[in-house]
A and B are shown apart, each in its own frame.
Chain A
Amino acid sequence: MSKGKYKWIGTRPDRPDGADKVTGRARFGADFNMPGQLVGKVLRSPHAHAVIKSIDASAALALPGVKAVVSAVDFPDQPNLIVPTGEMQVNLRDITRNVMAREKALYEGHPVAAVAATTEAVAKAALDLIKVEYEVLPHVIDVADAMKEDAPILHDHLITEGVKPAPTKPSNIAKRIDNLKGDIEAGFKQAEIVVERHYTTQAVHQGYIEPHATLASAAEDGQIQLWSTTQGHFQVRGFCSRLLNIETSQIRVTPTEIGGGFGGKTVVYLEPIAVRLSQKSGKPVKMVMSRDEVFRASGPAPGGTVHVKIGAKRDGTIVAAECTIALQAGAFPGSPVGPACWTSFACYDIPNIKVVGYDVVSNRPKVAAYRAPGAPISAWGVESTVDILAQELRMDPIDLRLKNAAKKGTKTSYGPTFDTIGFVETLEAAKASEHYKSKPRAGMSRGVAAGFWFNVGADSSAAAHVAEDGTVTIISGNPDIGGSRASLALMAAEELGVDYSKVRPVIADTSSIGFNFVTGGSRVTFATGLAVVNSVRDMIRELKVRAAKTWGVDPDGVIWEDGCAKPAGSNVGEFEPLSLAQLAATAGRTGGPINGHAQLNAQGAGPGFGVHIVDLAVDRDTGIVTVDRYTAAQDVGTAIHPSYVEGQLQGGAVQGVGWALNEEYIYGSKGRLDNAGFLDYRMPVASDLPMIETILVEVPNPHHPYGVRGVGEVPIVPPLAAVGNAVARSTGIRLTDLPLSPPRLSAAIDAATPRMAAE
Chain B
Amino acid sequence: MAKTHVTTTINGEPTEFLCDASQTMLDVLRDQLGLTGSKEGCGSGDCGACSIMLDDRLICSCLMLAVEAEGKKVETIEGMAHGEQLHPLQKKFVEFAALQCGICTPGFLVASKALLAKNPNPTETEVRFWLAGNLCRCTGYDKIVRAVMEVAAEMRETAR
Contacts and interface: CB of A to CB of B under 8 A. Distances in A.
Interface of A: 12, 14-15, 17-28, 30-31, 121, 206-211, 257-262, 288, 290-291, 481-483, 641, 643-644, 646-647, 650-655, 677-679, 683-689, 691-692
B132 A678 contact: no
21 contacts: A15-B97, A21-B94, A21-B105, A28-B103, A209-B41, A209-B135, A259-B102, A260-B103, A481-B101, A646-B143, A651-B100, A654-B140, A654-B141, A678-B44, A678-B46, A685-B131, A685-B135, A686-B129, A686-B131, A687-B131, A691-B146
Contact of B101 (A258, A643, A678): A258
A683 B140 CA distance: 11
Given A15-B94, A22-B86, A291 B41 contact: yes
Interface in B86-115: 86, 90-91, 93-97, 99-106, 109
Nearest to B125: A687
Contacts of B77: 23-24
Contacts of A259: 39, 41, 101-104
Contacts of A646: 97, 142-143
A211 B137 contact: no
Contacts of A679: 44, 46
B117 interface: no
Contacts of A24: 35-38, 76-78, 106
A692 B140 contact: yes
Contacts of A262: 137
A753 B144 CA distance: 41
A346 B109 CA distance: 41
Given A23-B86, A260-B137, A686-B128, A208 B101 contact: yes
A759 B109 CA distance: 52
B80 A23 contact: yes
B112 to A, nearest CB: 11
B101 A260 contact: yes
B85 to A, nearest CB: 11
B42 A647 contact: no
B109 to A, nearest CB: 6
Contact of A257 (B76, B93, B102, B125): B102
B151 interface: no
A30 B40 CA distance: 9
B144 A686 contact: yes
A723 B145 CA distance: 22
B74 interface: no
B66 interface: no
Interface string B38-53: 1111111011010000
A291 B42 contact: yes
A492 to B, nearest CB: 19
Q: Which of A17, A28, A259, A644 has the most CB of B within 10 A?
A: A259
A31 B38 CA distance: 10
Interface of B: 20, 22, 30, 35-44, 46-47, 49, 76-78, 80-81, 86, 90-91, 93-97, 99-106, 109, 124-125, 127-129, 131-146
Given A209-B104, A210-B101, A685 B132 contact: yes
B143 A643 contact: yes
A678 B103 contact: no
Contacts of A650: 139-140, 142-143
Contacts of A12: 97
Contacts of B39: 28, 30, 209-210, 259
A462 B39 CA distance: 31
Contacts of A687: 125, 128-129, 131-132
A15 B97 CA distance: 8
Contact of A651 (B22, B135, B140): B140
Contacts, number: 187
Contacts of A651: 100, 137-140
6 tightest Cβ-Cβ pairs between the two chains A and B: A24-B37, A259-B103, A654-B140, A21-B102, A18-B94, A678-B46
Nearest to A641: B97
Given A290-B43, A483-B97, A647 B135 contact: no
Contact of A686 (B90, B96, B109, B145): B145
A650 B144 CA distance: 11
A641 B143 CA distance: 14
Given A259-B103, A686-B141, A211 B135 contact: no
A691 B142 contact: yes
A644 B143 CA distance: 10
B11 to A, nearest CB: 11
A611 B87 CA distance: 38
Nearest to A31: B36
Contact of A647 (B30, B44, B139): B139
Contacts of B127: 686
A669 B39 CA distance: 34
Contacts of B90: 19, 22-23
Contacts of B136: 209, 686
A22 B143 contact: no
Q: Which of B38, B137, B143 has the most CB of A within 10 A?
A: B137
B44 to A, nearest CB: 6
A705 B15 CA distance: 55
B86 A689 contact: no
A121 B20 CA distance: 11
A677 B97 CA distance: 28
A12 to B, nearest CB: 7
B137 A208 contact: yes
A48 to B, nearest CB: 24
B101 A689 contact: no
Nearest to B35: A24
Contacts of B135: 207, 209, 678, 683, 685
Contacts of A483: 97, 100
A302 to B, nearest CB: 19
A17 B81 CA distance: 16
Given A27-B36, A31-B36, A260-B137, 8 more contacts: A15-B94, A24-B78, A257-B101, A260-B100, A643-B96, A677-B44, A684-B140, A685-B134
Contacts of B132: 685-688
Q: Which of B37, B106, B141, B142 has the most CB of A within 10 A?
A: B142
A647 B43 CA distance: 27
A231 to B, nearest CB: 11
B94 A260 contact: no
Contact of A209 (B86, B103, B140, B143): B103
Contacts of A17: 102
A683 B137 contact: yes
Contacts of A209: 39, 41, 47, 49, 101, 103-104, 135-137
Nearest to B107: A209
Contacts of A653: 140
B128 A647 contact: no
A653 B101 CA distance: 17
Contacts of B78: 23-24
Q: Which of B20, B94, B102 has the most CB of A within 10 A?
A: B102
A212 to B, nearest CB: 12
Q: Which of A257, A261, A685, A686 has the most CB of B within 10 A?
A: A686
